Copies of this chain bind each other. A is one copy, B any other.
Amino acid sequence: MTVPLEKVSEAARVAEPGEGISVDELRLASRNHAMPMEMLREDVTPVGLHYVLAHYDLPAVDRDTWTLAIGGCVRTPVTVGFEELTSMPARTVRVTLECAGNGRATLSPRPVSQPWLNGAVGTADWTGVPLNDLLERAAPTDDAVDVVFAGADHGFERGVEQDYERGLSMADATSGDLLVAYAMNGEPLPVQHGYPVRLVVPGWYGMAHVKWLQTVTVIDGPFEGYQNKAYRLRQQADEVGVPVTRMEPRALLMPPGHPDFMTRDRIARPGPVTLRGRAWSGWAPVERVEVSTDDGTTWTDARLEADAGRWAWREFSAAWDALPGEHRLRVRAHDAGGRVQGDVPAWSRGGFANNGDQPVTLYVLDE
């Protein structure tokens, strides 16, 4: 019996009006998890609570036989094993990492894919070897245009069988910020974050941070692999679209009070509340965060806490006197490049880079 692959692996689609979350989407949501919002209390997201998105199965890679091969348009192809990699000069960088599809399930109409609400983010201290140090050893030739990073994860997507592969331009790949990382918060990478080695591209959405990294290939033209075509902003399926790259500014509020189990709405008692959260932008430092306690009718500036480094989120806080009633809390970030978080999520067919805000409903009881 012949199985047509397109029966199994269908084209992308947008949900019908009023269509509830499908079982396909739920299957993705049950394996790829968000950061619980109360973890905004932590500078560094604890192990197992950083958001995770893997397109395919988490591969089992043996660190002792693992190698990273750097080849293609280079003068000296280089292959390093784990021991050699970890003996090279290393750097540790605190990086906030967000999925390009964060907020997708809040869009209308809803792109049918991993149904993120707002929590597809996390911050970790990544330790690794600067990618430039490895590329310099390989010495790209003058015709180098793009660099392709391939992971060990393998699957099917919209009819295409593939290892997960992403390309970056030579300029982006050699910015000096990229790490070939082998530790997360001082420990070996958890399997779901790319054990034993992944790429970290500070400031970029997660799709560029290739996990289970195995090969780095310099090519003499633009990379036209599946993932570089998929992660684009499009209004229609047949558009070429605009590549998704750096993280748009976004602020998240640590929800005050206590949750209701089912609705996850928040309940508190009257009195002073410190509204706290974190904000980030991959384009420029966060320079302002506003807070609204009346669903965006009025806004006040939050206080920004100490800068935690260019690639880490920045904590903010604002004092508020919570009176009995129902409140709708919102926050929005501005970066130094003039980008402002939109309070209506920008829509695209993939649901990417929509930096809509995260309204928090808080009920303050009478006493």
Spell out A's residues near B (CB within 8 Å): 1-3, 5, 7-10, 12, 19-34, 36-39, 41, 46-49, 52, 54-58, 60, 105, 112-113, 115-117, 119, 154-158, 161, 190-192, 258-265, 267, 324-326, 363-366
Contact = CB atoms under 8 A, between A and B. Distances in A.
Contact of A190 (B29, B47, B264): B47
A46 B191 contact: yes
A277 to B, nearest CB: 15
Contacts of A37: 31
A360 to B, nearest CB: 12
Nearest to A258: B155
Contacts of A325: 1, 3
State the number of copies, please.
2
Given A46-B191, A155-B260, 12 more contacts: A8-B265, A20-B21, A26-B26, A30-B34, A46-B190, A47-B47, A48-B190, A57-B259, A112-B262, A155-B259, A156-B261, A158-B262
Given A30-B116, A33-B33, A259 B49 contact: no
Contacts of A158: 261-262
Contacts of A105: 23, 26
A325 B262 CA distance: 41
A25 B21 CA distance: 9
A261 B56 contact: yes
B24 A21 contact: no
**Which of A30, A47, A157, A263: most chain B CB closer than 10 A?**
A30
A267 B8 contact: yes
**Which of A34, A56, A261: most chain B CB closer than 10 A?**
A261
A258 B162 CA distance: 10
Contacts of A20: 19-22
A261 B163 CA distance: 12
B2 A366 contact: yes
A267 B10 CA distance: 13
A43 to B, nearest CB: 13
Nearest to A106: B23
A159 to B, nearest CB: 9
Contact of A9 (B5, B119, B263, B326): B263
B262 A31 contact: no
A46 B155 CA distance: 22
Nearest to A323: B1
A2 B267 contact: no
B8 A156 contact: no
Contacts of A261: 9, 55-56, 155-158
B38 A262 contact: no
B36 A57 contact: yes
27 contacts: A2-B366, A3-B366, A5-B365, A8-B260, A8-B263, A9-B267, A10-B262, A19-B20, A27-B117, A28-B264, A30-B116, A30-B117, A31-B36, A47-B48, A47-B190, A48-B48, A48-B190, A57-B259, A113-B262, A154-B258, A156-B258, A156-B259, A156-B260, A157-B260, A157-B261, A157-B262, A158-B262
